[in-house]
Amino acid sequence: MAEIIAVSTIAIFMAILPGADFVLVTRTSIYNGRLAGLYMSLGMCLSVCIHASYSIAGLAVIIANSAWLFSTIKYLGAAYLIYIAWQLLTTPEPLHNDEKNQTADISPFIALRLGFTCNILNPKTSIFFLSIFTQVVSVDTPLIIQISYGLIIMLAHFIWYSGVALLLSHPSILPRFNRQKQKIDKIAGVILMLIAIKLTLMSAI
């Protein structure tokens, strides 16, 4: 029971800590609408499944202790964030004011893919799972229980990011953000760029 409480608590804090995932879900929910935000949240949860799977298999230790493998994931993740940040920073101003009050259509697959890619290339998530399955979870913990821990972490992420998407896309809130879309894009771009720079300076444990 103590192990379950520890994993659940860490999962909740890991989900709500601001990062690239939060920035992308926030921006997507405002700019592309509720459905896109929810699909992006689902994509992030699917990537959590992958992280949990290789952590249970013991591969997280290899990633964290292999300099070249960790660096590859780190720089790929940073490059991906820089790419998204550049797109946001160079987004042109809408030609008509009424366009600021509309959401831009994006396919569910693209939203899901963006969420999945952002999270799967984040080495901080790998380190998080490594710490969970080496420092908190006992080696004697049955496999089925370890799998349930992965599901708990995935559920925590989905609930949090879905809640963010639903809140920011609410009809009473969305119009306020719609009037500031250009500023939101620039702010999100700068934040993602800073996260990417910080990511490149990060080292494995």
Judged against a pLDDT cut of 50, whether residue 95 lies above it is answered with: no
Assess contact for 6 and 136: CB atoms under 8 A: yes
Q: Is residue 118 pLDDT above 90, yes or no?
A: no
Residues with Cβ within 8 Å of 197's Cβ and at least 6 positions away in sequence, in order, are 78
Neighbours of 38 (CB within 10 A): 23
Q: Which own/partner contact pairs does 176-182 have at CB distance under 8 Å and 24+ positions apart?
A: 177/30, 178/30, 178/100, 178/101, 178/102, 178/103, 179/100, 179/101, 181/30, 181/31, 181/94, 181/100, 182/91, 182/93, 182/94, 182/100
pLDDT band of residue 64 (cuts 50, 70, 90) is low
Is residue 96 predicted with pLDDT exceeding 60? no
Q: What is the pLDDT of residues 35-44, one digit of tens each?
A: 999 999 999 9
Instruction: Write out pLDDT tens, residues 126-152.
Output: 777 777 777 777 767 788 888 888 888
Mean pLDDT, rounded, of the chain = 79
The mean pLDDT of 88-104, rounded to a whole number, is 59
User: Mean per-residue pLDDT for 21-48?
Assistant: 89
